[in-house]
Amino acid sequence: MSQNDFTIANQDFPSFRSDLNSALQALASTSSGTSAPSTTFANQLFYNTSTNILSIRNEDNDAFIPIALLDQSNDAITEIQCRGIAFSDGDNAMTIADGGACTFPQDVTVVGRAVGSTLTAANNAVYDLSVGNNFTTTTAATVTMNFSNVSVGQSGCIKFIQSGGHGVNLDNIVGMSATGFAALAVTGTYFLTYFVTASSGANSVLVGVSGALT
């Protein structure tokens, strides 16, 4: 660990050699220390030994930009600090928003198994689509099916258990066939799929209903 102001003053030879060695050691250790160097330069690298974060000084020389979080115990990189991953021609292949939401401009290929969100219980048949994609409902009384925080293009599945002939009503936002609507009033277990086609309005969330599974 070493830091230096990288300015070699006029001095006698032993002091010059000591100052030069200190500057070289600071370069070799990326100015590592428990806090940022007191003297900084644009595009300077700095490794914070307290937080294990590697940073680079911005062009204006008024802040450090985090690059990566290192795991010193396991000799690994824990996180890469970035907002996007680019193609070789400069186009963004993936954009990462604050909070972790990812946007891909083209197709996504998954090798192996992709596991979606955990099942979210919504026994009142009101599905908050900001929570996840897949839900379970077990009726205990009359319910009115509805969807909130919809996002156009989102789809998912619902395990719907009609536990005793309870009434099922539909909010205006839900589009469902008459056959499917009638089926949900009968005691049994049903597999529902939904697809969001619009952000609001009648029939903006289309819901398909399987035959009774039990």
What is the per-residue pLDDT across 116-139, written as a single tens digit (0 to 9) for each?
767 899 999 999 999 999 999 999
State percent of the chain over pLDDT 70. 94
The Cα–Cα gap between 89 and 152 comes to 30
State percent of the chain over pLDDT 90. 64
Collapsed DSSP state (helix, strand, coil) of residue 91: coil
- Average pLDDT of the chain is 89
- CA distances 144 to 96, 121, 174, Å, are 36, 15, 10
Q: Write down the pLDDT at residue 37.
A: 92
The Cα–Cα gap between 160 and 123 comes to 9
CA 166: distance to chain centroid?
Answer: 38
Place of tokens 């399987």: 210
Q: What's phi and psi for 132, nearest 5 deg? A: 175, -165
Whether the per-residue pLDDT at 156 is higher than 80: the answer is yes
The Cα–Cα gap between 27 and 55 comes to 14
Q: pLDDT tens digits, residue range 66-84?
A: 999 999 999 998 888 776 6
Which is higher by pLDDT, 165 or 160? 160
Phi-psi domain of 45 (left: phi exceeds 0; alpha: psi -120 through 50; beta: other) = beta
Which is higher by pLDDT, 186 or 103? 186
Which range, 28-37, 99-108, 141-150, has the best average confidence (pLDDT)?
Answer: 141-150
